[in-house]
């Protein structure tokens, strides 16, 4: 059923973008009602506006906490136009109808981001706004609700095309958006209070719905919720896909571990090449050398600005995405010659604090794996040398970002072999050794990192036979002593960290 807008209640925190709507409503002969700063804004446009105070007979009180919470306001929103008893009450108590309600909410999330002062945060918990939105949404059969400045464009288009008329479908659409705004707002407030409370509900809300081309496979639909613009500026290329986003997430988590110049190559969330060097060009050469086959079609990431020299080298390889904190102009010109090549300029480092995963009919929530090792216990035949220790630390970080079961082989802060996603640890080591041999690396002086303990001593035995003399692993097996004793007997360094890095 169509409804023509004859009266509108407008009370908003954000005024930007409101003036063309106010002008259009005035042009259509709509009676405007408002409060406080919004009323002043409307009147400064030269448009007449009736104060809510003149309707209710009450001023704004309690420092602005109570302005619209009154039966004459909510009666005018909730009154059912086709319900006889409601009509009697409207006439008896002289309640004006409101056909359109434009209300937004105090910026609670923004306030939490910018201050820790609880008094300021609490004052940004909206009461009247949420109540008005819910009332208008509930009565969408008769009332149109606009609950966010993001909907101003849609409202203005509707007003211009339909001359102030709204259909039931229009009003239902805006009501759905309004309840979504309220739900997101309430989740943010609950999250603030639940930081220190053990509440039994899992709640999470992300806005900015973005349809992807498809999901993990072409027959799967997929959507991303979130604001990528907070993290990146996209400088070139096609739209990011589902798989692209998964790999970009993995790449950003890896590169956040390092401060010295590092280049990494990611394929299906696993690190297939990574190296630390004094400069970015040398880091790229070493990262690519680790596995140039797997690098094809990968996601590249560095923590250094990309110059023309590196851009030229990178352009010899087909890759999906390059992520860097900055690009020289000539490097950018060269990299942009491929129109589909995605170039992302990372604005800030990304380290998630919490991880979520759908499991069965529920959700798993865990703290992110933000620890590299709990302790450094030398348990082998010799204590690790300074050079071995540098490589062991590097290998341990790399291994942390491989799918379990995982083994990383490192030499001179360069990944030279990796095994990941294997169903046994010895198979992961065999895969890592095969990779290193395939690309011509000598294992003499290399180190080994394992994401979890060795259930048997077979891994340290095979490592020793291959030329590896230093190992890092979390320990915790009932047969730890088997591996410890072998390392002691063969003068291998063995570091136990007490920190497992399973990744599934």
Residues serving a catalytic function are: 138, 268
Do residues 335 and 341 make contact, with C-beta atoms less than 8 angstroms apart? yes
- In total, the chain counts a number of residues equal to 504
Cα separation of 174 and 374, whole Å? Answer: 52
Single out the residue of 425, 436, 479, 487 nearest to residue 456, CA to CA.
479
| 238-250 CB burial, b ≥16 within 10 A, e <16 | eebbbbbbebbbb
Q: What is the rounded CA–CA span in Å between residue 421 and residue 341?
A: 28
Closest CA to 420 of 446, 429, 291, 216: 429
CA distance 411 to 449: 11
What's the CA gap between 53 and 58, in Å, rounded?
A: 5
Contact 109, 14 (CB under 8 A): no
Rounded distance, CA 384 to CA 275, Å?
21
Rounded Cα gap, residues 371 and 145, in angstroms:
48
Give the closest residue to 21 by CA, choosing from 128, 77, 105, 101. Answer: 101
CB 240 within 8 A of CB 342: yes
At 183 the three-state DSSP class reads: helix
User: How far apart are alpha carbons 295 and 113 in whole angstroms?
Assistant: 38
């Amino acid at each position: 059923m169509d409804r023509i807008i004859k009266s509108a209640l407008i009370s908003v925190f954000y005024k930007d973008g409101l003036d063309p709507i106010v002008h259009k409503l005035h042009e259509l002969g709509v009676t405007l009602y408002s409060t406080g700063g919004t009323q002043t804004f409307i009147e400064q446009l030269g448009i007449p506006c009736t104060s809510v105070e003149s309707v209710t007979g009450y001023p704004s009180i309690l420092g602005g906490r109570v302005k619209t919470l009154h039966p004459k306001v909510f009666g005018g929103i909730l009154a059912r136009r086709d319900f006889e008893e409601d009509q009697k009450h409207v006439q008896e108590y002289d309640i004006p109808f409101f056909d359109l309600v434009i209300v937004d909410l105090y910026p609670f999330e923004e306030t939490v981001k910018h201050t820790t002062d609880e008094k300021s945060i609490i004052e940004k918990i909206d009461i009247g706004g949420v109540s008005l939105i819910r009332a208008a949404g509930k009565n969408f059969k008769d009332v149109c609700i606009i609950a966010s400045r993001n909907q101003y464009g849609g409202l203005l288009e509707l007003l211009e095309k339909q001359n102030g008329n709204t259909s039931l479908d229009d009003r239902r659409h805006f009501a759905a958006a309004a309840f979504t705004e309220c739900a997101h707002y309430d989740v943010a407030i609950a999250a603030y209070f639940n930081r220190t409370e053990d509440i039994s509900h899992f709640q999470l809300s992300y806005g900015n719905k973005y349809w992807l081309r498809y999901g993990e496979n072409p027959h799967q639909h997929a959507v991303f919720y979130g604001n990528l613009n907070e993290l990146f500026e996209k400088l070139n290329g096609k739209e990011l896909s589902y798989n692209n986003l998964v790999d970009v997430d993995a790449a950003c988590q890896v590169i956040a571990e390092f401060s010295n110049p590092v280049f990494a190559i990611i394929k299906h969330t696993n690190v297939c090449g990574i190296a630390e060097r004094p400069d970015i060009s040398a880091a790229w050469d070493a990262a690519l050398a680790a596995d140039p086959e797997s690098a094809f079609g990968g996601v590249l990431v560095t923590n250094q600005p990309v110059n023309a020299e590196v851009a030229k080298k990178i352009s010899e390889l087909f890759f999906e995405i390059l992520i860097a904190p900055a690009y020289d102009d000539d490097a950018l010109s060269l990299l942009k010659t491929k129109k589909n090549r995605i170039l992302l300029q990372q604005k800030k480092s990304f380290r998630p604090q919490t991880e979520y995963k759908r499991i069965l009919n529920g959700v798993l929530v865990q703290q992110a794996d933000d620890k590299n090792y709990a302790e450094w216990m030398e348990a082998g035949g010799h204590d690790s040398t300074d050079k071995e220790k540098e490589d062991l630390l590097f290998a341990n970080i790399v291994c942390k970002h491989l799918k379990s079961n995982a083994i990383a082989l490192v030499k001179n802060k360069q990944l030279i072999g990796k095994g990941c996603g294997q169903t046994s640890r010895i198979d992961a080591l065999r895969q890592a050794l095969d990779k290193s041999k395939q690309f011509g690396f000598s294992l003499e002086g290399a180190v080994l990192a394992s994401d979890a303990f060795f259930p048997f001593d077979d891994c340290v035995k095979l490592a020793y036979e291959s030329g590896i003399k230093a190992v890092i692993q979390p320990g915790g097996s009932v047969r730890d002593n088997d591996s410890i004793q072998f390392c002691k007997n063969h003068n291998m360094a063995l570091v136990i960290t007490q920190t497992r890095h399973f990744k599934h």
